[in-house]
Amino acid sequence: MMKKWMPIMMLMLLSGCNEPKQVSGTDFKREYELRNNQTMVSSEYLGEKDGKVFLRRKTMSLVNKSKWNEEIWCTETNNLDSTFMTLLKKDIPNQAPEDTARKLADPHR
């Protein structure tokens, strides 16, 4: 159980976050659906824990094009419709926790 939560905690520590940003179900769903189809924004679904779903949202700095700002978004699962939750459950990250931790430590790999 802790292994599933560890990558999210490590990402929060590495990105300087103390807590994930709580967003509405509508905003979470929109960001998930757009994922990498946006200019200067990239999102990755991280998983579900304790009745919440999480994603990592990266935005390119307007000042320094090689710098990315990261934040973790979350919403309560009851803010999302059952069809969308079924879709999310199929998008479980396929990496082992060690691989995810390595990727989070160096997001430009």
Q: Is 21 helix (H, G, I), strand (E, B) or coil?
A: strand
Are 64 and 71 in contact by the 8 Å Cβ rule? The answer is no
- Ordered by where they begin, the domains of the chain are 2-92 (3.30.160)
Q: How many residues does the chain have?
A: 109
Say whether pLDDT at 1 is over 70. Answer: no
Q: What is the pLDDT of residue 76?
A: 96
Band the pLDDT of 4: cuts 50, 70, 90: low
Say whether pLDDT at 77 is over 90. Answer: yes
Q: Find the mean pLDDT for residues 59-69.
A: 84
Q: What is the pLDDT of residue 93?
A: 64
The verdict on pTM exceeding 0.85 is no
Say how many C-beta atoms besides its own lie within 10 A of residue 35's C-beta. 15
Angstrom CA distances, 108 to 14, 26, 58, 83, 104, stand at 14, 29, 11, 33, 9
Band the pLDDT of 38: cuts 50, 70, 90: confident
**Residue 52: closest CA among 34, 24, 20, 75:** 75
pLDDT, tens digit, 9 for 90 and up, residues 81-98: 999 999 998 887 654 444
Are 71 and 17 in contact by the 8 Å Cβ rule? The answer is yes
Are 101 and 6 in contact by the 8 Å Cβ rule? The answer is yes
Backbone angles phi, psi at 22, to 5 degrees: -80, 125
